[in-house]
Amino acid sequence: MQRRTFIKYAGTLTSVLGLGPGHLFGTQAERKFKISLNPGAIGVSCTQKELIDCARRHQFEAISPLPDQLMSMSSGELNEFRAQMEGNKLTWDAAGLPVDFRKDLETFREGLSKLPEVAKTCQSAGVTRMSTWIMPSHNELTYTENFNQHRDRLRQVADILQDHGIRFGLEYVGTKRLKTINRYPFAGTMKEMLELIAAINVPGMGLQLDAYHWYTSTETVADLLALKNEQVITCDLNDAKAGRTIEEQVDGERELPGDSGLIDLKGFMQALVKIGYDGAVRAEPFNAKLNAMENEEALATTSRAMWRTVRLIDAV
């Protein structure tokens, strides 16, 4: 039996035996968020259309939109794709923002000019969320200068997205190295990102939560419970590297959720349920070992880790 065939067979057998991700657990009925497949974050190469079958085989409940590929579809193809998603009981995760707002003004304006067409296509496809990450330091701009630039540029982005019914999420980065790699530190905690969102002041904005950055920012379950559902746009799950302190964690080196046990994912997941979060959660491990796997093995491994983490909701 070939490796790919064996992996697929083993995953199917596990599910049949009631040991896999399809098994239902107690209060999971109260869970409103969906387990999403974001292929790029786990080293899996596939097209937007192939994502439906990948998600179905490995028991994901949502998929990431790939705006560039959605834009290549005709109106009829988009409608057919949405019908296939509905037929497989799949929903959308958040799309990544295709505008580079971190560089010079000309680069930003060029990306911004293309955003209305991207947003229009996403709206036609039924995508209602988009997000991006914020670098927590800068080599030239002071905190105030950087804050004002982010406020002004991202307000323009948020206005366009709002016009197309798309909510916009910002992710703070908590790792110490990225906060200190440049001369001037910037927003790298939940509280600071909420301050930036408030200053942008466009309805429909919120956070892209990340368990790793929640952990490296030394935040607590209480911080999560202080949020409302509408303040969370999407959510990344992962784990920290064993043998490293919080200060030693590196942004691009993580584990699948639950692999090291350093992050309190039980508290994190239970908090998402308590605030009624109804978006998607997806794996973002930035893990070399996972990236080196063949597609089927990486999908199966990620699915097991994600459903293992969801079961923590019911853990006593």
Q: What is the pLDDT of residues 222-258, one digit of tens each?
A: 999 999 999 999 999 999 999 999 999 999 999 999 9
Total number of domains constituting the chain: 1
| pLDDT for residue 10 | 41
Cα–Cα distance, 186 to 316 (Å, whole number) = 38
Assigned domain for 10 exists = no
Report, as an integer, the average pLDDT of 210-220: 98
Assigned domain for 2 exists = no
pLDDT at 11 over 60: no
Amino acid at position 141, single letter: L
| pLDDT for residue 6 | 35
| pLDDT for residue 29 | 54
pLDDT at 152 over 80: yes
% pLDDT > 70, the chain: 91
Assigned domain for 132 exists = yes
Assigned domain for 252 exists = yes
Assigned domain for 260 exists = yes
| pLDDT for residue 315 | 83
Cα–Cα distance, 182 to 180 (Å, whole number) = 5
Contacting residues for 80 by C-beta, under 8 A, at least 6 apart:
none
Assigned domain for 21 exists = no
pLDDT at 309 over 50: yes
Q: Alpha carbon of 261 to those of 48, 239, 264: distances in Å?
A: 32, 7, 7
Phi, psi values for residue 276, rounded to 5°: 75, 30
pLDDT at 16 over 90: no
Long-range (24+ apart) CB contacts under 8 A made by 178-181 are 178/135, 178/136, 178/137, 178/251, 179/136, 179/137, 180/137, 181/137
Q: What is the mean pLDDT of the chain?
A: 92
Assigned domain for 217 exists = yes
| pLDDT for residue 27 | 54
Contacting residues for 222 by C-beta, under 8 A, at least 6 apart:
none
Lowest mean pLDDT among 12-26, 31-45, 97-111, 143-157: 12-26
Look up the domain containing 299 and give its range: 32-314
**pLDDT tens digit string along 177-208?**
999 999 999 999 999 999 999 999 999 999 99
Assigned domain for 16 exists = no
Q: Is 156 exposed, middle or buried (0-12, 13-18, 19+ CB in 10 A)?
A: middle
Cα–Cα distance, 52 to 123 (Å, whole number) = 19
Which CATH number covers residue 216?
A: 3.20.20.150
Predicted confidence band of residue 296 (pLDDT cuts 50, 70, 90): very high
Predicted confidence band of residue 129 (pLDDT cuts 50, 70, 90): very high
